[in-house]
Amino acid sequence: MSDVELMKRIVQIKSTGTHAALATVIRTKGSTPRKVGAKMIIYGDGTIAGTIGGGCGEGEVIEAAMHVIATKMCTHHKVDLTAGLFYEDGGICGGIQYVFIEPI
């Protein structure tokens, strides 16, 4: 999603009172599907705009974003793609993404 599209969506969210959160990759270590600066909007109904990489890791971030939307409090989330289900499921990245999630 381009920066212009992101800003348009944020303005729309603010003007309509829609519940949503913004997830931004703020740091990476090793091979990751998206790099620093990747952004994704998560709406209160679970739909998304943009991506931070897809798969189970993105699912974790969506779940964490739902908590952010409910509490209106920012959080950090670590997506570890180095072992466990991510690695065994055939994921090719094997790195770590650190994601900042904030309410919009």
Q: Is the pLDDT reported for residue 93 higher than 90?
A: no
User: What's the pLDDT score for residue 31?
Assistant: 87
Report how many domains make up the chain: 1
Tokens of 58: 């993105």
Q: What is the pLDDT of residues 12-67, one digit of tens each?
A: 999 999 999 999 999 999 989 899 999 999 999 999 999 998 888 899 999 999 99
Is 20 exposed, middle or buried, given 0-12, 13-18 or 19+ CB atoms closer than 10 A? buried
Is 75 exposed, middle or buried, given 0-12, 13-18 or 19+ CB atoms closer than 10 A? middle
Q: Is the pLDDT reported for residue 104 higher than 90?
A: yes
The range of the structural domain enclosing residue 50 comes to: 3-103
Q: Is the pLDDT reported for residue 89 higher than 80?
A: no
Distance, in Å, from the CA atom of 7 to the CA atom of 92, rounded to the nearest integer, reads 32
pTM for this model (two decimals):
0.89
Per-residue pLDDT band at 85 (split at 50, 70, 90): low
